[in-house]
Structures are given as structure tokens and as C-alpha cells.
């Protein structure tokens, strides 16, 4: 009888990675608001204070600029630092430290000072976060030279990318969608690294290329499974790494499918999708046989009211309709697909994850 694969949630995978590296490397320091909380920031820091002590697991004051500066100073002075901002908006209070000290120290010292710091930041929607606590903001960080910016989607990458980031000699930011913490998947118990330089093709197809990241991928895969019943196969690419932006796997896919949709976690305007499409078009003329499509948040602050929030976020039906608009299908087939999707979707609150989108995949 085959051995059952070991399955963890993304939050469990992050916790395991952090604990394993702290055991292995005594120079690693964990800092953040709430790291000692019993809930452990979605469970990602639970019991680490008890295991590694208050000299290495540091509960910080509510002074994001100060703690980020301290963390960067530690990193410059031969410590490895894992800093956690429970919301990406908290990092805005320390943006000068990140952009001008962490990102530039290696450059301005001609390679004398590395800054081995990892900053985990929580992004995205959930339980009525409203306009100030539900943003993604990945484009703000992704335009800064000297930073790596990661956005994992699977439990496997949650562990592997974190370990790779901790071992990187220069600053790495990891954006974690709230709902991403609940996804499940295969995670080896051993210490392992996954690459932090390029996207990954997670499903092969020849009808359409769709690029997504983080929790959005689970909605894309849900639509893709329905399309398979109609012999339509979507090539799905997990973006994974926002900076450095490696578009080669996307270009190779679009050369085959001739069609592209990009579903991003943040705003559509000035988004990663626009950068990807522009980068492809500059070097690959006439690669598309249909205009590329971007799906993202509207150009508006996030509403707190559930009724408005329901219309604010792109949903699974929006994704499917965008796919169908790119495909050369007759009207009746499109109607059948929409009908099948409608009955397949569970009824759930707008501010909680869809129970069908947790994997494992």
C-alpha cells in the first residue's frame, strides 16, 4: 500500500520551517508584533517563544519604523532576521528603512554589507478588514532595486521559499494572503529549499494561458477543472516571484496558446499585470491573437460593508467569464459552462475563504 503523502496547511509549513531553521542556525532572530501571541499570527509563530527563548523570539513594541530599523541593523551585523508585519499596511510606517537601508546597503557599500533580512507581510481580504487593512500593495515593493519580493501559493512553497529567503544574503519580502494560510498540500518534513527566481507552470494546456498568484490560483484551478469537462485545457502559471520578474515561462506559454489572462491580488491599474504584458509585447510582436486581459481590484478603496465588498472583489464567475471571452466557443457551450459553475459554487460569506479552494493541489 503506497505511503500517504504528508499534508500540512501553509501556516503549519511556515511554522515548521521557522522552527527548523532556528534550531539549526543560532544566528536567526524572530521579531514582530504578536509573535508571542497564543494564536501565533495565523499559527505561524505558535510556541516559538517557549522553544527558543525571549532573546531570539522578540515581541516588539508598536513602533514599526523602529523595529524595522533594529532588524536591519542586526542583519548588517551578522545576524539573520525574520521580521513579521501582521498587515502589509504596518510596513508602510517603515518604508524608508526598507527602501533606503535594507534595499540599498549592499549597493552603496560596494558589497561590504549584506542585509540578510526576511520580512513577512500579510495581505488581502478577510473578516471586514476595510480600506486600511485589506490591501495588497505588491507593486510598491516590487519596483525597488535590491529587494526580492515573493508571493507563495502552496504549502510546499510556503516552507521551501521561506527557507530559501532566510538563506539569501540580501533582503527578501514575502507577501502572504490571509486565506493562503489555510490552503493544504504536500510538505516534506526535512529542511528543503525551493527556487525564488522564477514562475512555475502548474497545469499544462494549449487553449489559454492564465497567470495568477497566491490564493487567486485556487479560484483559477476551480474554473480550469470545469473546463476540462469540455476538453478545454488551460495553462496555469504560478507567478511566485514578483521581483526579480522572470517572464520567460509566460512568454513560452503564450507562444503556444496566443492568449493571456493575468489575475493579480492587487489593483488592476499600475499593477503587475500591466508590467508583464508590456514586457512581453516589447520583445514579442504579434504574439497575441486576442487582446491580453487583466483581472484585479478596481480603482477604489476597499469597502467595509459586505454588500459593497461582494461587488468589489473579482470572483470565480468573473474569472470564468474572462476565460470564456478569450475562447472561441459557441454561445450554447458557454451557457452550459456558466450553468455548471453556478451549481458547483458553494454559498459562503464574502469575507471567508471558499471551502472548496483549500487544496491540496
- Same-fold call for 7-186 versus 200-357: yes
- Write out the DSSP string of 300-334: SPPP-SHHHHHHHS--HHHHHHHHHHHS---HHHH
> According to the CATH classification, is domain 7-186 in 3.40.50.970?
yes
What Rg do the C-alpha atoms of the chain give, in angstroms? 21
Note the pLDDT of residue 349.
57
pLDDT along the chain (361 residues), means of 10: 82 98 98 92 95 96 95 97 94 95 96 97 79 87 97 98 98 95 96 97 97 94 95 98 97 98 95 97 93 95 83 90 94 95 75 61 48
Take residue 301 and report the three cell numbers written for it.
Answer: 478603496
Sorted by where each begins, the domain ranges of the chain are: 7-186, 200-357
Note the pLDDT of residue 323.
97
Q: 104-109: list long-range contacts, CB under 8 Å, 24+ apart.
A: 104/146, 105/72, 105/76, 106/146, 106/170, 107/145, 107/146
Backbone angles phi, psi at 323, to 5 degrees: -60, -45
Answer for the pair 194, 162: CB distance below 8 angstroms, yes or no.
Answer: no
Closest CA to 239 of 202, 204, 288: 202
Answer for the pair 205, 299: CB distance below 8 angstroms, yes or no.
Answer: no
200-357, CATH topology level: Rossmann fold (3.40.50)
List all residues 6 or more positions away from 3 whose beta carbon is below 8 Å from its beta carbon: none
Answer for the pair 233, 241: CB distance below 8 angstroms, yes or no.
Answer: no
Amino acid at each position: 500500500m503506497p505511503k500517504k503523502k504528508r499534508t500540512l496547511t501553509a501556516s503549519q509549513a511556515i511554522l515548521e520551517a521557522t522552527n527548523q531553521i532556528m534550531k539549526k542556525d543560532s544566528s536567526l532572530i524572530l521579531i514582530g508584533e504578536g509573535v508571542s501571541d497564543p494564536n501565533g499570527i495565523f499559527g505561524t509563530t505558535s510556541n516559538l517563544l517557549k522553544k527558543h527563548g525571549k532573546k531570539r523570539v522578540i515581541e516588539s513594541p508598536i513602533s514599526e519604523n523602529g523595529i524595522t530599523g533594529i532588524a536591519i541593523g542586526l542583519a548588517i551585523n551578522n545576524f539573520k532576521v525574520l521580521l513579521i508585519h501582521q498587515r502589509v499596511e504596518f510596513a508602510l510606517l517603515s518604508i524608508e528603512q526598507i527602501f533606503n537601508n535594507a534595499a540599498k546597503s549592499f549597493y552603496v557599500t560596494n558589497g561590504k554589507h549584506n542585509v540578510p533580512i526576511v520580512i513577512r507581510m500579510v495581505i488581502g481580504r478577510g473578516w471586514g478588514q476595510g480600506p486600511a487593512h485589506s490591501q495588497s500593495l505588491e507593486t510598491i515593493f516590487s519596483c525597488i532595486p535590491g529587494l526580492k519580493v515573493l508571493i507563495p501559493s502552496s504549502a510546499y512553497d510556503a516552507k521551501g521559499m521561506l527557507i530559501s529567503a532566510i538563506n539569501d544574503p540580501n533582503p527578501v519580502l514575502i507577501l502572504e494572503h490571509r486565506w493562503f494560510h489555510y490552503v493544504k498540500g504536500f510538505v516534506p518534513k526535512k529542511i528543503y529549499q525551493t527556487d525564488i527566481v522564477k514562475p512555475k507552470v502548474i497545469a499544462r494546456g494549449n487553449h489559454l494561458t492564465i497567470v495568477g498568484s497566491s490564493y487567486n490560483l485556487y479560484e483559477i484551478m476551480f474554473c480550469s477543472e470545469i473546463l476540462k469537462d469540455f476538453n478545454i485545457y488551460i495553462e496555469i502559471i504560478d507567478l511566485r516571484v514578483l521581483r526579480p520578474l522572470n517572464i520567460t515561462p509566460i512568454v513560452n506559454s503564450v507562444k503556444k496558446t496566443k492568449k493571456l489572462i493575468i489575475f493579480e491580488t492587487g489593483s488592476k491599474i499600475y499593477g503587475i499585470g500591466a508590467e508583464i504584458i508590456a514586457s512581453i509585447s516589447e520583445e514579442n510582436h504579434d504574439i497575441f491573437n486576442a487582446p491580453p486581459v487583466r483581472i484585479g481590484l478596481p480603482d477604489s478603496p476597499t469597502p467595509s460593508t459586505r454588500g459593497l465588498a461582494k461587488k468589489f472583489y473579482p470572483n470565480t464567475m468573473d474569472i470564468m467569464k474572462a476565460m470564456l471571452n478569450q475562447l472561441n466557443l459557441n454561445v450554447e457551450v458557454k451557457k452550459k459552462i456558466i450553468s455548471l459553475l453556478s451549481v458547483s459554487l458553494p454559498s459562503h460569506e464574502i469575507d471567508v475563504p471558499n471551502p472548496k479552494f483549500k487544496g491540496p493541489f
